[in-house]
Amino acid sequence: MVHNGGTMGFETFLGNPQAVSVVRDMLGSGRLPGALLLAGPDGVGKKTLALMLAKALNCERLRDDFCGECNHCRKAEEMLAATHEDLERRRQMKDSGRRVEGLVYFDLQLIEPITRYILIEQVRQLRNIAYTRPFELRRRVLIVDQAQAVHWQAVDLLLKVLEEPPDTTTLILICPNAFELRSTIRSRCSQIQFVPVEDAVIANLLEKEGRVPASRRALAVRAVAGSVAKAKTFDPAEFERRRKPWIDFFDAVGRAGKPAHVDWRALFDSTKALTEDRESFEETLDMGYSLLRDLVYVLETNDEVRVTHVDLLPRFKTWAPRLGLAGLETLKDGLDEAYRSQIRNANQQLGLEALAIELLTRAG
């Protein structure tokens, strides 16, 4: 495992200092609850912190931290890699019925959805080993990522483990929103809440990585909205490619100043190349929504702090008053319609052509 600057341990974790100090206090006092629930938005490091915690629980040198170099720390890292490999192999199996065959769990184990759900076989295996002694580490740590995806048939089984906490194992559940879990599950875990990472931390990360040019950093910071994971993969060229058709569109509409004559067809034609699949269609629509939101902020509040596309502010100031609130609403209705049609056409043809015609008819 390679770490920047040779530093190790919890100090390398970005953001959410509150969550980190709660975890370290638990470790330091030796009073770690049997089950933890890490909740909060995607990309802020919930899984990363869970893995750090697993190492710290087992580190041979440190008590409320981990060294990354001792036998246990290295073993934990190997187990994690093996877990990832196994998950990947199973996800790629053609015969979905066999994906959960012969599950073998390590002392440190990541349990994630292999299909859409975390299946009963996975939870059964978790329960089988939760009460046994670890083989190579001091303590077992079973991490259930996307705990909201535990299949309903398996929830009771998971609850049973939480009700009779094993003394050899720490369970860590991870999910975006604690309220997506059944209250009986939630109430048996000590919850640690994560929040979006501060802009300054993200800006610092981008600067250190040096991948995003300085001129695009302010935009990147806003666009990733507190997600370290997104910051690490933010691609300015790709962002620009996805945004370009919308800029042209708003430019044209803003110049015409009459959203009744919105040229939806031109927009959807120009975004078609970006919408090869459902996910990219969603990303394309999200881009439209985020631009609209900015325009509303500029028009209504003058609250530039909340604007995502900071580099477009001068243009927003031209477009927004021309479009007016009514115009922005028309545009939002159009996007909502596109979104609904996307759900109707889920996983099939996106039907953009049909939608463009429908919107044109309505506008006319």
Positions touching Zn ion (CB under 5 A) are 59, 61, 66-67, 70, 73
Rounded to the nearest whole angstrom, what is the least distance from the CB of residue 178 to Zn ion in the complex?
31
Q: Looking at the DSSP assignment, which residues form a beta bridge with residue 190?
A: 36
Of the candidates 149, 147, 140, the one whose C-alpha atom is nearest the C-alpha of residue 37 is 147
Rounded to the nearest whole angstrom, what is the least distance from the CB of residue 83 to Zn ion in the complex?
19
Question: What is the DSSP code (8-state) at residue 38?
Answer: E
Q: At what angle do helices 264-272 and 352-363 cross, to 10 degrees?
A: 170
Closer to Zn ion by Cβ: residue 57 or 59: 59
Closer to Zn ion by Cβ: residue 54 or 192: 54
Question: What φ, ψ does residue 175 adopt, rounded to 5°?
Answer: -160, 160
Closer to Zn ion by Cβ: residue 69 or 251: 69
Closer to Zn ion by Cβ: residue 2 or 237: 2
Rounded to the nearest whole angstrom, what is the least distance from the CB of residue 71 to Zn ion in the complex?
8
Rounded to the nearest whole angstrom, what is the least distance from the CB of residue 320 to Zn ion in the complex?
55
- Work out the burial of residue 81: count CB atoms within 10 Å of its CB; fewer than 13 is exposed, 13-18 middle, 19 or more buried: exposed
Evaluate whether 239 touches 211 at the Cβ level (below 8 Å): no
DSSP 160-204: HHHHS--SSEEEEEEES-GGGS-HHHHTTSEEEE--PPPHHHHHH
Q: CA-to-CA distance for 59 and 108, rounded, in angstroms?
A: 13
Closer to Zn ion by Cβ: residue 70 or 218: 70
Closer to Zn ion by Cβ: residue 73 or 231: 73
Rounded to the nearest whole angstrom, what is the least distance from the CB of residue 106 to Zn ion in the complex?
17
Rounded to the nearest whole angstrom, what is the least distance from the CB of residue 14 to Zn ion in the complex?
21
Closer to Zn ion by Cβ: residue 18 or 71: 71
DSSP 64-128: SS--S-SHHHHHHHHHHHHHHHHHHHHHT-S-GGGTTTT----SEEEE--SSSSB-HHHHHHHHH
Of the candidates 142, 117, 119, 118, the one whose C-alpha atom is nearest the C-alpha of residue 129 is 142
Rounded to the nearest whole angstrom, what is the least distance from the CB of residue 214 to Zn ion in the complex?
37
